[in-house]
Amino acid sequence: MKQIISQRKSSKSGVGLVLATTLLLIVLSVLHINATHRADLPLLLGDRVEAMFDLWSLQHFGSGVLIGSLLVYGGVASKSLRDFALVVLLLALSWEAAELAMESGWFSQTVATWKRGYEHWGNRFVGDPTLVILGGMVTRRFKSCWKIVLIPCIVWLIVNIALPHSMSVNQIVFGP
């Protein structure tokens, strides 16, 4: 009996998390489509404005590992796999909302210029969040893996911020 009550409580506790994540996804989707006016299919790999995955996708995976690590050490990993994935997704979508604001010039025109346009919806809603969740899931399984990605993530971020625009490394590797 006690186990049944505990299961009911835990299933109810995830409802707010599902609602918050769904609401953020809907609002972000509407804002993104309103800003970009695009519904075309993405390329698989390339520049973030036209592809689902770019070199920043590696950073998103690394960020997922780091976020997952914080959640693991914060005790969130003891929750169900679904709740853990939803928390990671909620954080990933929150970052995507911040990126949309940067691309729109809300942080400054300098940041908007550095961002070089809006991400493709495939990148914003599929590629990036999926890799953040995968990174979080890896950390849930291998709790110390953050030690492997911390320095590369910091270096990647510093190098990219120092370059003329956010896709400079991507252009060097894949061309214009």
48-95 pLDDT, tens digit each: 999 999 999 999 999 999 999 999 999 988 889 999 999 999 999 999
pLDDT > 70: percent of the chain: 93
- Mean pLDDT to the nearest integer, 131-136: 98
Domain count, the chain: 1
SS3 44: strand
Specify which residues 45 forms β-bridges with: 53
Q: What are the start-end ranges of the H helices in the chain?
A: 2-36, 56-73, 81-103, 109-115, 121-122, 128-141, 146-162, 168-174
Is the overall model pTM greater than 0.85, yes or no?
yes
The reported pLDDT for the residue numbered 5 is 47
- Residue 124: both structure tokens together: 């914003």
155-173 pLDDT, tens digit each: 999 999 999 999 999 999 9
Determine the structural domain holding residue 105 and report its residue range. Answer: 2-174
- Residue 107: both structure tokens together: 């942080």
Specify which residues 43 forms β-bridges with: 51
